[in-house]
Amino acid sequence: MSTAATPAPSPVEQLLVDDPYLREHQGSLEHRYGLFSKALAHIEQTEGGLEAFALGHTRFGFSVSPAAITYREWAPGAAAASLVGDFNGWNRDSHPMKRDDFGVWEIVIPHAADGTPAIPHNSKVKISMVKPNGERIERIPAWIRRATQDLSVSPVYDAVFWNPPHKYVFRHKRPAKPSSLVIYEAHVGIASPEPRVATYKEFTKNVLPRIVDLGYNTIQLMAIMEHPYYASFGYQVTNFFAPTSRCGTPEDLMELIDTAHSHGIVVLLDVVHSHASDNVLDGINQFDGTDHHYFHEGGRGRHDLWGSRLFNYGHHEVLRFLLSNVRYWMDEYGFDGFRFDGVTSMLYLHHGIGTGFSGNYHEYFGSQVDLEAVVYLMLANHLVHKLYPNAITIAEGGVGFDYRLSMAVPDMWIKILKEKRDDEWDMGNITFTLTNRRWKEPAIAYTESHDQALVGDKTIAFWLMDKEMYEFMSDLMPLTPIIDRGIALHKMIRMITFALGGEGYLTFMGNEFGHPEWLDFPRQGNNSSFHYARRQYNLVDDHLLRFKYLNNWERAMNHLVKQYDWLSSGQARLAPPSPSDAVSPAYASISTAPSLAPASASASEAADAVCLRQQYVSLKHEGDKIIVFERGDLLWIFNFHPTQSFTDYRVGTAWGTRHSVALDSDSKLYGGHERIDTKGEYFPTKEAWNERPFWIQVYIPCRTVLILKHD
């Protein structure tokens, strides 16, 4: 007798099992999933599948076959179109294009008899169109793969037909997906101590070895998609399929990614699909002469604060453009995933302008949600993971992403450094902010990203040490109290964030060694200066300076996570949160999560289950300024007290075997005072303490973190 298999739960049903707090929003979830399913079915029926739909870059723009060059462009608002460029002396009549019923214009240009392409490699081109009212407009092709700028002639970018005779051949396979992401967020242009724009080749030669040495397994490249205004940080994109030419050629970028892969490092692209530059002459705004081509028309199509255009995610051809853009960067350049920028702006019709978020689910399911954008994000994540199952997607929120950026964490640190004296630091608030995240939603924690480094704010190092960094960071100078405090707290802030704040960790370039200055791009307000648009790696290379200690600490942190991999230990538990748990509806704090052990488990099994969880905050002592927790087979002891060191300080532990030092921040290698015996051993006493089955006693100096391993 056979029994029918139990059908797998639907995605919505599984979500409700995982998070019972979503049950009151079941209708909204089913509606959204229905919209996604309908959009996916429509694409499959009309385009032969999502993967084929996302191959727009092989059909639109320029494609080269053995016999001809074909150029296609979607421009339904145009009444006539022709291809012009260096190849035809910019003659608007010699190469007219034909239009189909869907507003797609096309021209096929045969090669010469000897096989030479009719359009020379690296020559300029444009599409010339006539509007229904007779007005002629000329645009950079929307799918162009290279755009360049000659400031001696004009600030407007030129479209370039890119067809190099020798294509770049990738030599290295994509690395395996890391179990834990340790990310180096980087901007190629500022990756040099010199006051100029650095190149892809310089990054590959000079910065990549630093990334490898420090032990990162992921690079997140920002400002890659072409953007005419350098100071926009790459967030005012004009040419979505063109890597920025100010840093080199497309092949140079491919070489950078390929070289990173050779070291086992995955590379993510900071992709900007939340908005686009409002440039007309070198962007896609009013491409075919209409206000509603790729974007919503009127106010809905404009971002009031950013001064940019907003995509119409409900349009079939806009979906083709954006989804093809996602696939293009993975297929053509070898990117291993994406950090989607500006997702909060996409998700809400108010774009987050003048709106505070409480974290309550009602906001996420409210009337201000842009369901078309939600469906696009669902499609994008579905596509990425279907094409590349090991791909990684990150965002500050949204649908289907592998990781969420923990944006509250850096905000907390800046608020503490701005507003609190050292003796006012709230240990409970620190641990709550670091652990307050949704169950089964991995987070990327960070103390500082590019947002915190921008002009108008200060790097954490500068908040801690300010102008004394200019005079007293040399080992030849006295160690002042400010520098001593700054080095100690910079290490501790990074470490507790790394250890407790998420399932991944991110560093913005320069923070690893306490970069002293903010980031400010050349602009009219600073007389077009590059002085702050650079990263001063020379500071860490000077062995007389104390920056090396902070850099050494970053290396030690990264190599420790390789050994113990606490980030993947995660928020392990056998059952999802329920309304009876003492946690907020939207988030499950790891420090209050129930035991892994089932109700029927024996005492020893329960103890083993507690050990397996490996993520538990056992002490947050406000007077002593001590935080103690377990994660990833390690016992972490932080003393944030500004002056008080403690001898024979009793801390609880889940492990009943000998403990020894895995790492401590007080080593001279990290700019400390060598107050801890690194060969010391700690033997547990079998007696409950702070809800742990054992305790040990340690010496924990002020402003120090002591990390213990166990047999």
> Which residue numbers are catalytic?
341, 396
Closest CA to 360 of 24, 17, 14: 24
Token pair for residue 28?
A: 């909204």
CB 573 within 8 A of CB 439: yes
H or E element at residue 271 = strand 266-271
Sequence-ordered list of residues with C-beta below 8 angstroms from that of 165, at least 6 positions apart, any chain: 121
Cα–Cα distance, 670 to 488 (Å, whole number): 9
Q: Which residue in the block uniquely carries the two structure tokens 């002592």?
A: 621
Closest CA to 285 of 313, 307, 269, 270: 307
Cα–Cα distance, 665 to 706 (Å, whole number): 7
Q: What letters, b where the CB count within 10 A reaches 16 and e where it falls short, cover 251-281? A: bbbbbbbbbbbeeebbbbbbbbbbbbbbbbb
CB 294 within 8 A of CB 276: yes
Cα–Cα distance, 682 to 634 (Å, whole number): 13
Question: Cα 140 to the chain's mean position, in Å?
Answer: 29
Cα–Cα distance, 400 to 60 (Å, whole number): 28
Token pair for residue 444?
A: 């990327």
Cα–Cα distance, 505 to 226 (Å, whole number): 27
Pairing state between β 266-271 and 302-303: unpaired
* CA distances to 255, 430, 432 from 436, in Å: 40, 10, 6
- Other CB atoms within 10 Å distance of the CB of residue 584: 15
Cα–Cα distance, 245 to 195 (Å, whole number): 18
How far does the chain reach from its first CA to its final CA, in angstroms?
51
Cα–Cα distance, 548 to 421 (Å, whole number): 27
Looking at residue 648, its amino acid is D
Token pair for residue 70?
A: 């074909």
CA dihedral 422, 424, 429, 430 (to 10 degrees): 10
Cα–Cα distance, 247 to 207 (Å, whole number): 14
CB 506 within 8 A of CB 446: yes
CB 361 within 8 A of CB 585: yes
Closest CA to 562 of 212, 205, 210, 257: 212
- Other CB atoms within 10 Å distance of the CB of residue 118: 13
